[in-house]
Amino acid sequence: MIITFYGATREVTGSMHLFSANKDHILLDCGMFQGRRKESEMKNRIFPIDPKMVTNMVLSHAHIDHSGRIPLLTEGGFTGRIVTTRTTADACQYLLLDAAKIQESDASYLNYKTLRSHLYKIQESSRKKVSNREKMEIQRILKKDRHELNVDTIGRLMDEYNLKTIDPLFTTPEAEKALAFFDGYPYETPVTIGKSMTVTFFDAGHILGSAMCLIRFRENGKSYTVCYTGDIGRFDRPILNDPTMHFPEDSRDIDLMIMESTYGARHHETVDDLKERMKTAINETVEKGGSVLIPAFAYGRTQDVVYVLHELYDEGKVPRVPVFVDSPLASKLTKVFAEHPEVYDRETHETFLERGKNPFDFPELRYTETVEESMEIMKETRPHIVISSSGMCEAGRILHHLRWKIHNPRNTVLIVGYMAEHTLGRRIVELGWEYEQSGRAGQAPELSILGKTYPLNARVVKLSGFSAHADQEEMTRFLKKGNLKVKRIAVVHGEEDQSLKFADHLNSHGFKATVPQRGESIRLT
C-alpha cells in the first residue's frame, strides 16, 4: 500500500491524498487551494494525477478546501464514484454550484477590468486623460445594469482586440455534472471502494456530515487499517456531536493515521468564554451606535454563530438589534441543517427542538437573497449585526460590507474562524491586532478591497473558540483517550510551523509522527 500526499501538506488548503493498493487508486479529498490569487490559480489548474486512473474517491466533508476541485476530477475522465456521508452529499449540491458561480463571476470581472483598461488606453491615445463621460460610456457598453456585466459583449470585444481571456476554473454545467458522481451513506456503514477494500465513516464533529474515514483492506494476504481524520472538530461545541472516540473492536488497530494539524500548536478559548466575549463585543459596539460585521463560512460557522446569537437573545444578554445573514448560500445550507436533525447533539435537542423552536430562526433574524437587499443593509445606519461570507474575506458579499464599514471606529469586525496565510481575513486580523497593541495611535492601517484602499478604523475582535478545528489539547485527547491504537501518524492540513510543532508534540507523547512534503509517498508493508 502506498499513500502519496498532493495537497494540504505543510499548508492548510488543497486537501488531496492518493491511496493505492491492490491496483486500486482511491483519492482522499479533492480540495481547492486558497490564498494568493496567482499562486492558488496555478496550483488549482495543475491537477497532479491522471483522473482516469482513480478508481473511486472518498470525501471527508463538504468544505471547498476539501471538495472544490471535484469538477476538475470528473471533467478529466474519472469514471468512479464519490463516496461520502449523506449530509455531505446534500451540502455539496449547494457548495459546488456556488463555487462555480464564484469562479465564473471572478473570471468575468477580471476580463471586464482588462477590457475596460484597454478601452481607456485607446481613448487616451489621442489625449492625455479619459473624461468621466467617456468612462461612463465605456462602462455602459460593458454592463447590462449597475450590478451585472454584459458577458457576451465583453467576450466578443476581448476576441476582437486579441486580449488574453481568463477562464473560470470550472463552470456551473461542469459542477452539475460532478454532482451526479456522488453516493451518500450513513455513518458506521462499511462501503466497498475497491478490491478487498471498504471505507466506514465516523462522526468527526467538524461540520455537519464531516467524517473520519476508516479504510480497511487486504493486500498480499495481510489486513491493514488506515484512518484519514479529515478535519477533527472540537468537544462540547453547540449543535454537533463530539468527535468519535470509541471505534469497533475490529477497527481499532490503525497502521497509518493521516491527521490534520490546523491548530496543532495552539489552544482555543472554551465555548463558554466565546459566548461571553461575543456578548461583550456586541454590547460595547451597540452602545457606541455601531454595527458588528461577522465574516463566516456559509456552511458550519454561520449556523454556529446564529445558534449562539439565538441563545444570547433568548437570555436577554444583548440588545435585540436586527441580525442579517447576507449570504444566499448560507440560507440554502441552513436548510441542510434543518433536514438532518438526527446528527444534532443532545443539548440542541433539549434547548430548542424539544421546545418547538428552530435553532436557526428568531424574530430579529433575516436571511437575505438579492443584491438589492444586500445594498440596503450596507446603507443601514442603525446598529445591527451582519453575518456574511466568504469566511476568509476572499470573495462574496463580505467584501462590500467591509468596504462600507471598516473605516468607522464605532463598528466591530468580529473574527470567528481560521484565516489562512495570504488572505484578506488574515491581514485584517494581523493589522487589527497590531493597531490595538499600539493603543490605536497614529494613522490607521490600510487595506485594499476590490481595488480600492480603506483605513481599518473599525475594532477587530477575534474569537478563537468558534473554530471548528480541534486544538492541540483536543487532538491529543482524541488520540490518548479514544480507543484507537495508532502505529504511525502522517501530519497534514496545517501551516508548516503548526504541523512540525504538532508532530514534535506527538513524538514527545510516545507516538511516531512525521510531516510529509507535497508529492512524498509512504509505503505500508
* Whether the Cβ atoms of residue 186 and residue 85 lie closer than 8 Å to each other: yes
State whether 408 and 461 are in the same domain. Answer: yes
Helix (H) or strand (E) holding 258: strand 256-260
Residues 390 and 442 in one domain: yes
Which SS3 state, helix, strand or coil, does residue 431 take?
helix
Which of these three, 466, 491, 515, is where a domain ends? 466
457 and 501, same domain (yes or no): no
Q: For position 213, what pLDDT does the model report? A: 98
Q: Is 364 exposed, middle or buried (0-12, 13-18, 19+ CB in 10 A)?
A: middle
List, as one string, the DSSP characters of 93-154. Answer: HHHHHHHHHHHHHHHHHHHHHHHHHHHHHHHHTTSSS--HHHHHHHHHHHBSSSS-B-HHHH
Host H or E run for residue 260: strand 256-260
Judge if 234 and 351 occupy the same domain: no
Looking at the structure, tell me whether residues 453 and 332 fall in a common domain.
yes
Q: Amino acid identity of 517?
A: Q
**Domain membership flag for residue 185:** no
Q: What is the pLDDT of residue 105?
A: 87
By the 8 A CB rule, do 265 and 498 touch? yes
**In whole angstroms, how far apart are CA 364 and each of 19, 110, 312, 322?**
48, 38, 12, 5
> Domain for residue 306, yes or no?
yes
**Cell of residue 339, nine digits:** 433536514
Shared-domain flag, residues 331 and 222: no
Dihedral sign for Cα 507, 513, 514, 515, please: negative
- 487 and 459 together in one domain: no
Domain CATH number, residue 53: 3.60.15.10
- pTM value? 0.87
Query: What are the average pLDDT values for consecutive 10-residue runs of the chain, which has 525 residues?
Result: 96 95 96 85 92 98 96 97 97 94 88 92 76 87 85 94 94 98 97 97 96 96 96 90 95 97 89 85 97 93 92 96 93 85 84 85 93 91 94 87 95 91 91 94 92 93 87 96 97 97 97 97 92
pLDDT at 122: 86
Cell numbers linked to 54: 482513480
Q: Which of 466, 487, 512 is where one domain is finished?
A: 466
User: Taking all residues of the chain, what is their mean pLDDT, rounded to a whole number?
Assistant: 93
Nearest to 471 by CA among 202, 206, 201: 206
Residues 439 and 514 in one domain: no
Residue 443 phi/psi, 5° resolution?
Answer: -70, 140
Contact 449, 498 (CB under 8 A): no
pLDDT at 128: 67
Say what the pLDDT of residue 127 is.
64
- Of 466, 486, 511, the last residue of a domain is 466
Query: 3-class secondary structure for 56-79?
Result: EEECCCCCHHHHCCHHHHHHCCCC
Q: Which three cell numbers stand for residue 473?
A: 489539547
**Helix extents (H) in 318-414:** 328-339, 346-351, 371-379, 398-405
Number of structural domains found in the chain: 2
Domain residues for 308?
Answer: 271-466
Residues 249, 251, 255, 259: what is their CA dihedral angle, to the nearest 10 degrees?
A: -120
What is residue 242's predicted lDDT score, i.e. its pLDDT?
Answer: 94
- In terms of domains, do 247 and 317 share one? no
Residues 356 and 233 in one domain: no
Tell me: cis bond preceding 126? Omega within 30 of 0 counts.
no
Residues 452 and 353 placed together within one structural domain of the fold: yes
Q: Domain with 375 in it: what CATH number?
A: 3.40.50.10890
Q: Do residues 191 and 83 make contact, with C-beta atoms less than 8 angstroms apart?
A: yes
Q: What is the pLDDT of residue 467?
A: 83
Segment 364-388, tens digit of pLDDT: 999 998 888 999 999 899 999 999 9
Residues 354 and 277 in one domain: yes
What tens digit of pLDDT does each residue of 484-516 get? 999 999 999 999 999 999 999 999 999 999 999
SS3 356: coil
